[in-house]
Structure 1
Amino acid sequence: MLKSLFNWKVLLNLLVAIGVFVGLVWLTFRWLEYHTNHGQEIPVPNVINKSVHDAVTVLEDTGLEYEVDSSKYNPKYRPFQVLQVHPVPGSRVKDGRTVRLVVNPRSWAPVAVPDVINKYSGLAFQRLDRVGLKVGDTIFEPSIQKDALLRILYKGNAVKPGSLLPRFSIVDVVIGSGPMRNISIPNVVGLTVKEARAVITRSLFEVGLVEHEDGGKDESDIVYYQDPASGDVRDQGMQMDLWASKKTPAELRSKIEQLNATYRMKIDTSLPPIRYEEVPTHPAPDYEQTPAPAVPKTEPAKAEVPKTTNSSTKPAGSTTSTTPKTDNKPKTTTGNTSGNNTNTGSAKPAASTAQPAQKPKVKTIVVE
């Protein structure tokens, strides 16, 4: 086997294969050097603070490609001024290398108006500020959508959601202030359906049911009946129903009478009006307290003091006797008689009411 390896034919084939491989490698590197301009480098020119037009001219003369990035606006620098260069100026690059230029745009990049129509005003203001739009004047307009954002105005013109505006632009907003009350219903009888729609919209009402006599949807039909009737008062946003036909109202008299019987209520004024009387409000009863019976004051019983009566007799040898009485019997005084003179005692009834105790007084009775 070793003899076969060292055969001259085998060695010759091996040398030929090695030579072919080395030749292919050499040719590959030569082709790469030629294709990539190996050893041919160009310094990046310094175009910072130049205008973008001058910078592009310099790069084209040098043989370098370029791309412009103007996404960020800086008000400190001039519009279209080159702020940065990548790679940095002075770097050596191949011929045809792309250089990126950071350029200050003319103004802020435009932003899309967010869809905040018919949204709550507080939420709408937040979304407008988030995208970079500033709210200027706030205009209130009567609408059934109270506190809702109705329109966005830019320089006096209404803008739709998705429109592009410069960043930090000032926009005005129209906010609903609530429906108006007691608006007079317009008269649209005799107008076409298209004209009636315009009149109803201007009067701050909405078009409700539109019934065509022939069942079609021709906007040129004449309105011969409306509900509510003209002259009535309704709040803003109420719907008005219309009946339209190609005939004149005179030709539809019977139909109008049927609609009047349905939508126009007749009030019988022959009956006396109903009188509502207020029920008098009775005050709450004031309950008086019954006074307690008076308790009579009892005075302590006082003992009666006996009275002493002195009886006097004649001065000649007669004696006078004094007898105290302790009972309620009438007092009697008896004296001696001499000759024709007689002393008769008088009787006094006992006192019916108790008297306070007093010091007894001695009474002297003189008999002549």
Structure 2
Amino acid sequence: MLKSLFNWKVLLNLLLAIGVFVGLIWLTFRWLEYHTNHGEEMPVPNVVNKSVYEAVQILEDAGLEYEVDSAKYDPKYKPLQVLKMSPSAGSRVKYERAIQLMVNPKFWAPVAIPDVVNKYSGLAFQRLDQVGLKIGDTIFEPSIQKDAVLRILYKGNPIKPGSLVPRFSVVDVVVGSGPMRNISIPNVVGLTVKEARSVIARSLFEVGLVDHEDGGRDESDIIYYQDPASGDMRDQGMQIDLWASKKTPAELSAKIEQLNATYRMKVDTGLPPIQYQEMLVHQEPTYEPVAPAPVPRKEVPKVNEPAVRTETSKTGTSRPAGTSENNRPKTTANTGGNSGNNTSAVKTASSSQQPSQKQKPKKVVVE
């Protein structure tokens, strides 16, 4: 067997096989060098702080590829400005190597509008601030949902929750201010159910029970009765019940009378009207001055002195006995407003006649 192994034919085939294998390996490496431009490198141009459009043009002219990625928006840099690049500037790379560019975006990253509709306004404002949105105007609108968020406006138009807007965008919030008071009920009798719904919604009311005479739900039925009646004053958000039929209201007069007896309160106007009479003005009574009653004199105790007898003159004044009218002190009568001077003169005269020593009390007898 060893003899057959060293046969020249076997050895020749083995050498041929080894030669083919080595040749294939050499051709493979040569092809790889040619395809990958082995040994051919070039420096990376510096495109930092340039706009992304200029950077892309420079890289294409140098025979390099590029990949653009956006970083977090930074207001200190210009929009679409190249902030970083990888590999860095000056590095040697092969042709058609992809250079990664980090670019400042035009604006902040978009955020989704949170679902805060029909939520309390205080919590809604907090939620909007957390996602990076700014509150612009707070618009109050009459609604039964007081202090609840009704709509969110972006650039004046309503926007649905979940919509994407740039971060730090300004949004307006519509908040309910409570129901309006004393709104007149509209008249929807004679309209179709569909038309009545539209009129009631525009009047800030809601549709309550809709009773179809035939038991169906045809929106084209004619309204022949409503409660509350048209012209009544109700608050916003109150429900209006409707009765509809394919017949006209004139054909359902009996049914309307039956509903009036149930839903309309009859006011008794047979009582006589109230009459108001004017009251006489009460006059205060006038009183004439009354002379004061005489004060009774107290009896002076007797002393061991002769009693002095007084006489009553015609004028009603009393004087001591034995004193005549001529002996009385005379006073000058003045006219006009000198009555006060006369009184002072009389007092002076009487005081001059009094003795210097105090007299003892005497008993006075009045006849």
Confirm whether residue 210 of structure 1 aligns to residue 210 of structure 2. Answer: yes
Identity %: 82
Provide the residue aligned with 1:76 in structure 2: 76
Closer, same or farther: CA 263–71 of 1 in aligned 2, 3 Å: farther
Amino acid at match of 1:177: S
Amino acid at match of 1:209: L
Provide the residue aligned with 2:12 in structure 1: 12
Deviation at 1:137, TM superposition (A): 2.6
CA distance in 2, matches of 1:71, 1:188: 60
CA distance in 2, matches of 1:25, 1:123: 72
Query: What whole-Å deviation, never above 9, does each CA across 1:125-152 have from its counterpart, x for those lacking one?
Result: 2332232211223233332323321111
Closer, same or farther: CA 231–41 of 1 in aligned 2, 3 Å: same
Contact 1:151 1:175 in 2 (8 A): yes
Amino acid at match of 2:102: V
Alignment gaps of 5+ in structure 2: 272-367
How does 1:76-115 map onto structure 2 within 5 Å? 76-115=76-115
Q: What's the secondary structure of 1:243's corresponding residue?
A: strand
Aligned-residue CA RMSD in angstroms?
Answer: 2.7
Contact 1:139 1:174 in 2 (8 A): yes
Query: What whole-Å deviation, never above 9, does each CA across 1:242-270 have from its counterpart, x for those lacking one?
Result: 22345432222122123223433557799
Provide the residue aligned with 2:189 in structure 1: 189
CA distance in 1, matches of 2:215, 2:29: 86
Deviation at 1:214, TM superposition (A): 5.3
Deviation at 1:226, TM superposition (A): 0.8
Deviation at 1:215, TM superposition (A): 5.3
CA distance in 2, matches of 1:263, 1:86: 82
Q: What TM-score do you get using the length of structure 2 for normalisation?
A: 0.66
Query: What whole-Å deviation, never above 9, does each CA across 1:248-298 have from its counterpart, x for those lacking one?
Result: 322221221232234335577999xxxxxxxxxxxxxxxxxxxxxxxxxxx
Query: What whole-Å deviation, never above 9, does each CA across 1:8-29 have from its counterpart, x for those lacking one?
Result: 3333332222222211211111
Provide the residue aligned with 1:36 in structure 2: 36
Query: What whole-Å deviation, never above 9, does each CA across 1:329-355 have from its counterpart, x for those lacking one?
Result: xxxxxxxxxxxxxxxxxxxxxxxxxxx
Confirm whether residue 226 of structure 1 aligns to residue 226 of structure 2. Answer: yes
CA distance in 1, matches of 2:91, 2:46: 10
Contact 1:147 1:177 in 2 (8 A): yes
Deviation at 1:85, TM superposition (A): 1.5
Confirm whether residue 177 of structure 1 aligns to residue 177 of structure 2. Answer: yes
Closer, same or farther: CA 207–71 of 1 in aligned 2, 3 Å: farther
Amino acid at match of 1:85: M
Closer, same or farther: CA 234–32 of 1 in aligned 2, 3 Å: same
Q: What's the secondary structure of 2:201's corresponding residue?
A: helix
Contact 1:71 1:109 in 2 (8 A): no
Amino acid at match of 2:96: G
Tell which deviates more after alignment, 108-117 or 56-65: 108-117
CA distance in 1, matches of 2:125, 2:83: 34
Tell which deviates more after alignment, 216-225 or 72-81: 216-225
Provide the residue aligned with 2:126 in structure 1: 126
Tell me the number of residue pairs that the alignment of Structure 1 and Structure 2 aligns.
Answer: 271
Deviation at 1:173, TM superposition (A): 0.9
- Larger helix percent: 2
CA distance in 2, matches of 1:127, 1:24: 68
Deviation at 1:181, TM superposition (A): 4.5
Query: What whole-Å deviation, never above 9, does each CA across 1:165-201 have from its counterpart, x for those lacking one?
Result: 2210111112223334554432222334333223312
CA distance in 2, matches of 1:192, 1:229: 17
CA distance in 2, matches of 1:204, 1:59: 64
Q: What's the secondary structure of 2:195's corresponding residue?
A: helix
Provide the residue aligned with 1:258 in structure 2: 258
Contact 1:48 1:83 in 2 (8 A): yes
Deviation at 1:217, TM superposition (A): 4.9
Q: What's the secondary structure of 2:32's corresponding residue?
A: helix
Closer, same or farther: CA 178–14 of 1 in aligned 2, 3 Å: same
CA distance in 2, matches of 1:243, 1:220: 12
Structure of greater Rg: 1
CA distance in 1, matches of 2:130, 2:32: 52
Tell which deviates more after alignment, 84-93 or 192-201: 192-201
Closer, same or farther: CA 59–199 of 1 in aligned 2, 3 Å: same
Amino acid at match of 1:66: Y
Contact 1:147 1:175 in 2 (8 A): yes
Q: What's the secondary structure of 1:168's corresponding residue?
A: coil
Query: What whole-Å deviation, never above 9, does each CA across 1:195-250 have from its counterpart, x for those lacking one?
Result: 32233123321112333445555545432211222233444322212223454322
Alignment gaps of 5+ in structure 1: 272-368
CA distance in 2, matches of 1:105, 1:81: 8
